[in-house]
Amino acid sequence: MLRRASMLLARQPILAARARPFSTDLPAAPSADATFTEAWTKVIPNMDPPKTPLSFMQPRPPTPSSIPSKLTVNFVLPYASELATKEVDMVIVPATTGQMGVLPGHVATIAELKPGVLSVHEGSEVTKYFVSSGFVFIHANSFADIIAVEAVPLDRLDVNLVQKGLAEFTSKLSSATTDLEKAEAQIGIDVHSALNSALTG
């Protein structure tokens, strides 16, 4: 038993050397699914094989050897694309762990978004959005993908309506009797509080 353990421990450096590479270390061009295509042509030779998900994906740009001067941002909602491959200086996102600034060359990260202000900095121009929730995916090649459930430019929000909504949800919470009513009212308070602080703070 001890011999087997020592043999397994001696093999660990070999296994570590065979560790799976990071996705950014893989070649930028996707490889064709040759096995599937070959099997398809054997079964149905007179029809072109269907496209696999890999054929719809664009190749990921390689990780640059030096830090680029700009951050490339994709900012999408379920129904629209706010920014598509937009080169900016920096974005600040409202992560659940706190405000997170993302510059070119940022370490690869995935963060959950909370209700708050997302600001896009491009030179001296700053565009601010209020996001309800979502995720940000920061890639090692200075690309950032921001996926939000709902977002609206900050200048399109009415502070009076926000404060009215905050008062309504606060009264709903005090009169709530079930756990569901309390949870719905608390979510409304959290979102409206974040909206209010974004507009007044």
Note whether residue 76 is domain-resident: yes
Q: Are 108 and 140 in contact (CB under 8 A)?
A: yes
Note whether residue 38 is domain-resident: no
Q: Are 24 and 36 in contact (CB under 8 A)?
A: no
Provide the residue-wise pLDDT of the chain in tens; the chain has 201 residues. 555 555 555 555 444 444 444 444 445 444 557 787 888 888 888 888 877 666 666 666 666 677 888 999 999 988 888 888 899 999 999 999 999 999 998 998 999 999 999 999 998 999 999 998 899 999 888 899 999 999 999 888 888 898 898 999 999 888 888 999 999 999 888 888 888 888 886
Residues 175, 193, single domain; the answer is yes
Residues 135, 163, single domain; the answer is no
Residues 164, 136, single domain; the answer is no
Residues 131, 174, single domain; the answer is no
Residues 121, 176, single domain; the answer is no
Domain that holds residue 194: 159-200
Q: CB neighbours of 173 closer than 8 A, spacing ≥ 6? A: 182, 185, 186, 189
Residues 109, 166, single domain; the answer is no
Note whether residue 14 is domain-resident: no
Q: What total of structural domains would you count in the chain? A: 2
Note whether residue 18 is domain-resident: no
pLDDT for 38: 86
pLDDT for 126: 92
Residues 129, 144, single domain; the answer is yes
For the record, the structure tokens of 46 come out as: 């007179």
For the record, the structure tokens of 160 come out as: 């009076």
Note whether residue 139 is domain-resident: yes
Strands (E), the chain: 71-76, 81-88, 90-95, 98-102, 109-113, 116-122, 125-131, 134-138, 143-148, 151-153
pLDDT for 24: 47
pLDDT for 61: 65
